[in-house]
């Protein structure tokens, strides 16, 4: 859901002209314009766009946010080029967004736990018929649940897969991301597949509590196909913690 960050508003069908504020390990960042305009990505080559997605590198060797781009590097080639094709069809919007500069000190201190996630080469697709593995792909690289719901690593502990605890901050404030692992005690293990799908469609938990779309973009997830939502639910119900 590129529009959740790059949209002029965090709603579907908004121009992807950027400008809204997001937050990562280095602090505040204005999200860039990705329409095919002069102030967007109109002058970028296909290779440069691929490098931005696969390697987190913009033209001029400028590093993109490792947190906000997390997961995109492993998009299937077919999905990646479909996205690039779609971006090329958008109406160009001129909106100059300031580029954030991260100091060498901050990059080496705040970025201590950032590993090299660049991906070069061909990324084959997993068939949707393999529901669990396809659901894992959607969770990690399309819906990118891991970007908020993974427990941050520390000097003494490894990152926790979908175990929650990260502080999620945006224009509306900040919240602690919940555990969405299959744990029946701490996560959503007691939710049925149907309840997970209903949550992704409506933004309402099985108890009837509505979760703000400012923190979980169910207004985007609700547009996914039945096949994709089913795969997400199958994986989230069955996943065990990964290293």
pLDDT tens-digit map of 160-193: 999 999 999 988 889 999 999 999 999 999 999 9
Q: Indicate the SS3 state at residue 176.
A: strand
Start and end residues for every CATH 1.10.760 domain found in the chain: 131-238
pLDDT at 2: 92
pTM of the model: 0.91
pLDDT at 104: 63
- As given in the structure block, the two tokens for residue 45 are 């080559």
Fold of the domain built from segment(s) 131-238: Cytochrome Bc1 Complex; Chain D, domain 2 (1.10.760)
Tell me: the pLDDT tens digits for 82-114? 999 999 999 999 999 999 887 665 665 655 555
Residue 242 has pLDDT above 80, yes or no: no
Tell me: the pLDDT tens digits for 36-58? 999 999 999 999 999 999 999 99
- For the chain, give the percent of residues with pLDDT over 70: 91
Contacts of 84 (CB under 8 A, 6+ apart): 46, 49, 50
Alpha carbon dihedral 90, 93, 97, 102, in 10-degree steps, equals 20
Q: Are 134 and 233 in contact (CB under 8 A)?
A: no
CA 190 and chain centroid, separation: 25
pLDDT at 243: 39
pLDDT at 101: 81
Largest CA-CA distance found in the chain, in angstroms, rounded: 51
- Work out the mean pLDDT of the chain and round it to a whole number: 91
């Amino acid at each position: 859901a590129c529009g959740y960050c790059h949209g002029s508003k965090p709603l579907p069908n908004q121009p992807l002209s950027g400008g809204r504020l997001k937050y990562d390990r280095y602090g505040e960042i204005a999200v860039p314009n990705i329409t095919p305009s002069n102030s967007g990505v109109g002058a970028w080559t296909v290779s440069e766009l691929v490098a931005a997605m696969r390697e987190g590198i913009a033209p001029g060797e400028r590093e993109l946010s490792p947190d906000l781009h997390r997961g995109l590097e492993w998009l299937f080639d077919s999905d990646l080029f479909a996205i690039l094709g779609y971006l090329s069809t958008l109406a160009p919007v001129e909106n100059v967004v300031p580029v954030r500069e991260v100091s060498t000190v901050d990059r080496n201190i705040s970025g201590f736990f950032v590993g090299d996630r660049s991906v070069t080469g061909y990324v084959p697709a997993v068939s949707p018929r393999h529901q669990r593995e396809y659901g894992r792909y959607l969770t990690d690289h399309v819906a990118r649940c891991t970007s908020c719901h993974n427990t941050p690593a520390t000097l003494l502990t490894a990152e926790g897969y979908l175990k929650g605890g990260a502080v999620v901050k945006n224009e509306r404030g900040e919240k602690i991301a919940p555990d969405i692992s299959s744990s029946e005690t701490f996560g959503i293990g007691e939710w049925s597949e149907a309840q997970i799908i209903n949550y992704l469609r409506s933004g309402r938990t099985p108890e009837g509590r509505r979760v703000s779309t400012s923190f979980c973009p169910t207004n985007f997830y609700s547009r996914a196909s039945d096949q994709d939502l089913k795969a997400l639910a199958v994986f989230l119900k069955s996943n065990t913690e990964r290293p």
